[in-house]
Amino acid sequence: MNKRITLIIGLQALIIITLFWVLVFYGKDEYEAYQSEQEEEIESPNRVSEKDGISIVMLSAETQRNSGITSSKVQKFSYQGSVKTFGSVVSIDKLIEAKTQYVALATEMNIAKSSSQQLQLQLQRMKTLNDDDKNVSDSAVQEAQALVNANQAKIQAIQQQQFNLASAIELQWGEALSPLITGGQLAPHLSRLFTRQNVLVQVSLPATANAPVIGNSIQISSLNERASSVKAIYISPATNADMSGIGKTYYYSAPAESLRVGMRVNVVQTNSSQHDVHGVLIPSSAVVWHGGKPWVYVKKQNNQFVRQPISTDTEIEEGWFNQEISAGSEVVTNGAQLLLSEEFKYLIKNENED
């Protein structure tokens, strides 16, 4: 009897121990998740807020000091010098095709005009014979008149085709390049485009650069730093935007040499203006990149930091020349990357909560 009681008590103890470990095993993940959430709430205080759709990072003076975040006021800066940008060598195959079409139409026009003179003489002869006692019938005169009319209609149709082709070229390539198709006196740097001695280069100049005029030139070179630069002569404003979408685009003619269609090139434009351009100097250490664009953090009142876009069109030795940031603004010069991380940690947290 005592053995049976002992055996029952032992089995009950075993069952209790087994149930305990089963509870521990299945409750472990939930417990760890709960602990992790509690730790995140404790360790990640909310330092970012939004106002009018703009993220504002707020850090106490002590946190800034411990994180090594420093800022300084940007001063007025006057700039007069070269502008560095990029361009690309453009194919003119469509211009060459249009030239071929225009020449073919011009040939048709010459043939039609030559036939017109003969048909007019034939019509006059028929009329004379018809008036002279009806030596030819009225129907013969009418047939001669019909041939003259048909030929005149053909001439008008060819003229309309030439006009349409010239208009399309001017719309696609600009007024300065359309004479390559329609003919006329051309400057040497333009006529060499069709002989492949020169190439057409599309250049994107920033808003701070001087707009080029006839006679201006730039220096271009391939992205290979060992390549020597060549002089490119200004043609006209371009009709297409650059793939970068920055600034205004212009056409230049450059010696072919080592340049090939589709190549990206470095461009240097010398500032021909006698007037300085005014803005501020942004130190290189202040710039952070996000989404392929450059940004800086501007310190506002009450230890608040706001991210603002800048332009990197004009690079100088000390940093970047800008007109987007006002003189006297306090810009973060050390620790901008930490602020960017803090801002997007908040955004990621909000997305997870949603």
Q: What whole-number distance in Å separates Cα of residue 133 and Cα of residue 136?
A: 8
Q: Which tokens hold the place of 277?
A: 């351009």
Supply the Cα-derived Rg of the chain in whole angstroms: 39
Q: Are residues 258 and 315 in the same domain?
A: no
What gap in Å lies between CA 3 and CA 122, rounded to an integer? 142
Give the phi and the psi of residue 79 in degrees, each rounded to 5: -130, 130
End-of-domain residue from the set 270, 290, 325: 270
288: in domain:
yes
Is residue 13 included in any domain, yes or no?
A: no
- Domain count for the chain: 3
Which residue segment(s) compose the domain that 149 sits in?
93-182
Average pLDDT over residues 101-128: 86
Looking at the structure, do residues 74 and 112 belong to the same domain, yes or no?
A: no
Q: Which amino acid is at 192?
A: R
Q: 170 with 202, same domain?
A: no
In a domain, 2, yes or no: no
CATH number for the domain that contains residue 284: 2.40.420.20
pLDDT confidence of residue 350: 52
pTM: 0.53
166, 120: one domain = yes
Give the three-state DSSP class for 71.
strand
Instruction: Give the pLDDT mean for 137-159.
Output: 86
| CB crowding 124-155: b at 16 or more within 10 Å, else e | eebeeebeeeeebeeeebeebeebbeebeebb
Could you tell me if 207 and 227 lie in one domain? yes
pLDDT at position 42 is 42
* C-alpha–C-alpha distance, residues 95 and 92, integer Å: 5
Q: How do residues 82-93 score in pLDDT, each as one tens digit?
A: 777 888 999 999
User: SS3 of 152, please?
Assistant: helix
